[in-house]
Amino acid sequence: MAVNLPLELPEMLPVAGVRIATAAAGIKYLDRTDLVAFELAAGTQCAAVFTRNAFCAAPVTVAREHLSVTTPRLLLINSGNANAGTGEQGYRDALASCAVLADVAGCDVNEVLPFSTGVIGELLPMDKLSVTIPLLSSRFDENHWHDAAHGIMTTDTLPKGLSRQVMIGDECITITGIAKGSGMICPDMATMLAYVATDANITPALLQRCLRYAADRSFNCISVDGDTSTNDACVLMATSQAMMAAINDEQSSAYQQLRDAITEVFVVLAQAVIRDGEGATKFITINVEGGESEADCRQVADTVAHSPLVKTAFFASDPNWGRILAAVGRAGIDLLDVGRVAIYLDDVCIVRNGARAAEYTEAAGDVVMKQDEIVVRIVLGDSPHSAQLWSCDFSYDYVRINAEYRS
């Protein structure tokens, strides 16, 4: 069950220069959309970040190679099969998929970026893909964002998408994006699949910086279970279709406006991934402040977010604050003065000066823990450094979903 995630996508605004096509190839399920292609207008710039998992999937390897030699014209995504852990055959299949789409689109194979999501260790059903991929060429439309959001889902219970518009000078700039992710979510690049497009005109170098800035404040700040996928990828596309001068100065107000608007879209999509975490019943914000460095704050936030004992306590609505305290203590940061640590559940202080707060009552803790959205605030000291993560609880359904994943 998703935590306060709308059942329906909001209005998904088309982005000039981007058209989308979808199809059902029957990769894992019959009659379910599992192929998505993005067609990008000439002049579109693409920035991407990928998984840091050493066992990266074949499509990740191919996408990286293609991005290094040319500007992409097409993105091809399949769900239901990760094409990971598939060796040389998986690499050849990823290339072959690109070649089929490139052939019908009339472009070079290097201009197609492949992406896959689903079960690891199984070869792509190339017989099905070879027949279905050509069907995409006649289905491209700028209004297919809703279909694409559904087509990239795996264990997601709801599609995830958002559009925003921002005035930069006299020009209205559109930003629209979709994401998928529910499990295997941990801060380490992008932690899922995400595709965000804008009609802004921005230089390639600044687009990559913008992507990194936005990802570091969104998709790199979420954790469901502490696992990272072999297939994680996040792509930011800028079509340059808006009638504006190219943004080429990182210090300009135009760049900062665009960067902040894109980051807003990323944050909403990232939070949607957590709200739809496998089996999640609670959305948890973890704020850590006062550490000797931002890295220390982040390390504490990571440790609390990944702790199975903390996460199961949240599922049980049990204000077992000792689990949070123990996670802080084992985070491994230097110069931690436990006598200065304070911990809050929302506005309820449960720990002060490293021990149970004198005014704390179990009744007050129970009230907060029964909420479906909770803020954990951890104060380590009085420095200005801080970090924020978004996480969720562990429920019975998380075990069931992952135990039955291949069935």
List residues with catalytic annotation: 191
* Amino acid present at 118: G
Q: Could you say which DSSP state residue 338 is in?
A: G
Sign for the CA dihedral angle at 301, 306, 312, 315 comes to positive
Phi then psi dihedrals of residue 190, to 5 deg: -130, -20
CA distance 402 to 75: 29
> Helix (H, G, I), strand (E, B), or coil: what is residue 175?
strand
175 closest CA partner among 234, 111, 260, 93 = 260
Look at strands 373-379 and 342-345 and give their pairing: antiparallel
Phi then psi dihedrals of residue 113, to 5 deg: -105, 125
CA distances from 224 to 82, 127, 195, 338, 366 (A): 19, 35, 20, 27, 23
The CA-CA-CA angle for residues 346, 352, 357, to 5°, reads 80
CA distance 233 to 330: 31
195 closest CA partner among 184, 213, 180, 214 = 180
CA distance 58 to 53: 12
Is 236:218 a contact under the CB 8 Å cutoff? no
CA distance 52 to 60: 10
Look at strands 233-238 and 222-223 and give their pairing: unpaired
How far is the first Cα of the chain from the last one, in angstroms, to the nearest whole number? 20
